[in-house]
Structure 1
Amino acid sequence: MAYHLRSASTPSSPRSNKAEVEEQFQSLSTTISSPSATIGMMCDGLRRLGDIYSCIEKMMCTTSSQVSLCQTLQRLAVEAELGRSLVVLDLCNGMRESFMELKMTVQELLLALRRGDDVSSQVKAYVRQANKVQKQFKKISKKTASDKNDCRVVMLLAEAREITISLLEFTSSILSKQVEMPKWSLASKTFQRSKIVCQEEQLQALEHSIGDLESGVELLYRRLIQNRVSLLNVLSS
């Protein structure tokens, strides 16, 4: 089920925005922890994260938030969060490239299957690429910890950053399980047309899903950039 933030045309207070964003965080956390989570749910989660970052940006542009963010102690917290956000930007950029490579690997697997070739090498390539995506998270696990802060915007940005990393990591875990070596290597040596057709459909669906993930991460990347620009404008005002 998709969840949507309020339309920008609907008047709302910073306090109600905060409550709404917190509700979205809780919903996303539940999705990530669900054993039945799917790639489609992760695609929806990326879109919802983009909406969350847009909502936080609106909050930081209010007069009260700008005054708070520019106070000496809060300014230091904002600058620290700006630094940590670079880690997430790098991660999103890496994920975009990885999704492109995964999609190309799936396309190669699909072509090999249609030709009736042994697809073992393509399956191994997919597994390697999926594992490569997961390795990205081992490099950032110790770089994103943040201190407690009583500034509403900084706190929400920190929470959004943490849920973003969790969602992307969970997405990579789901992708790594989409193609299993024993099943595909065995099927590639059979001539049961119905089984091959079924696998073609699975691969086409996987290719489409990875494309959706790629678009979702691209949108999230742009929203993160917009957030950084807005924060930097507040600090320089």
Structure 2
Amino acid sequence: MACHLRSASTPSSPRSSNTQVEQQLQILSATVSSPSATINTMCHGLKRLADIYSCIQNMMCTPSSQASLCHTLQRAAVEAELGRSLVVLDLCNAMQDSFMELKMTVQELLLALKRGGDASAQVKAYARLAKKAQKQFKKISKKTASDKNDSRVVMLLAEAREITISLLESTSSVLSKQIEMPKWSLVSKTSQKSKAPCEEEQLQALEHSIGDLESRVGLLYRRLIQNRVSLLNALSS
């Protein structure tokens, strides 16, 4: 399901490549907005999104796209997309920082669980970090609105950017629901002790999943950088 990238990376025609990328963006958008989305869904979605950016990268390198992107009428649209892409890069960096903090909080929660104590402080810290990450998106949405333009590549980049923001926001939302009061707040030495092994496994799985998300966002960040370089090269050609 990963964009059929082998065929998309060496398309028979620019039009077929456009269609494939559009279809994959639509599928990914529907997946991200699903109420049943999980952390695994987000991990898979981030990988697919990075693959889509690779497809767009290949499209940008074709002679026809290069000619279109460097055309005088398209320069404003390309420059605007370059500016908006910086906002998304900043968002990826913020998410990476959030992942690191969340992993540390999960580790502290694991330690509290093993000691058989009250873990409410760690639960509150996790919830606070998750909400902090979600606040980023209210600021971002106003900065990334785009206008219609004639370059299909730029339009695809704009669509991919919007889905990137939506996917990261959904990821943040899913993570915020992983640890909630009062489920994890009272890890006592007596009544909850029998549940500790199961809860430890859940927390270890969550820590591993956050690490996977961190890796996927790192890959996505690199693809975004590559796309920016291609746009800059097109403007300078």
Q: Give the structure-2-normalised TM-score.
A: 0.95
Q: Which moved more, 1:162-171 or 1:2-11?
A: 2-11
Could you tell me which runs of 5 or more consecutive residues in structure 1 were left unpaired when the two chains were aligned.
none
2:40 matched residue in structure 1: 40
1:139 matched to 2:144:
no
Aligned to 2:101: 101
**1:1-37 CA-partner distances (Å, limit 9, x unpaired):** x434321774432111111111111111111121110
Q: Which residue of 2 aligns with 1:182?
A: 182
Q: Tell me the alpha carbon deviations over residues 187-232 of structure 1, each in whole angstroms, 9 at most, x when there is no partner.
A: 4464444411111111011001100100010000000001001111
**RMSD over equivalenced CA pairs, Å:** 1.4
Deviations 1:131-174 (A, max 9, x none): 11101111111100000112110000000000000000011011
Return 17-26 or 2-11, whichever deviates more.
Answer: 2-11
Tell me the number of residue pairs that the alignment of Structure 1 and Structure 2 aligns.
236
- Report the TM-score when normalising by structure 1: 0.95
> What is the one-letter code of the residue matched to 2:84?
R
Map Cα deviations across residues 82-110 of structure 1 (whole Å, 9 max, x no partner).
00100000000110111011011101101
Alpha-carbon distance in 2 for matches of 1:22, 1:188? 52
- Within 5 A, what are the aligned runs for 1:80-229? 80-188=80-188, 190-229=190-229
Equivalent residue, structure 1, for 2:65: 65
Quick one: structure 1 residues 10 and 83, their matched pair in 2 at CA, closer, same or farther if it must change by over 3 Å?
A: closer
The letter of the residue matching 1:7 is R
Percentage of matched positions with identical amino acids: 78
CA distance in 2, matches of 1:87, 1:140: 7
Q: Provide the C-alpha distance between the structure 1 equivalents of 2:2 and 2:58, rounded to a whole number of angstroms.
A: 19
Q: Is the 8 A contact 2:113 2:187 kept in 1?
A: no
Q: Which amino acid aligns with 2:59?
A: M
Amino acid at match of 2:85: S
Q: What stretches of structure 2 of length at least 5 have no aligned partner?
A: none
Q: Which moved more, 1:189-198 or 1:25-34?
A: 189-198
What one-letter code is carried by the residue in structure 2 that aligns with 1:231? L
2:5 aligns with: 6
CA displacement at 1:71 relative to structure 2: 1.0
Please give the alpha-carbon distance, in whole angstroms, between the structure 1 residues aligned to 2:170 and 2:11: 35
Moved over 2 A (4+): 2-6, 8-12, 186-194
Output the amino acid matched with 1:92.
C
Partner deviation per Cα, 1:38-86 (whole Å, 9 max, x = no partner): 0000000100110011100100110000111111111110011000100
Q: How many angstroms does 1:186 deviate by?
A: 3.2
In 2, Cα distance between equivalents of 1:224 and 1:141:
18
Go from structure 1 to structure 2 and tell me whether the alpha carbon gap of 1:190 and 1:22 turns closer, same or farther (over 3 Å shift).
Answer: farther
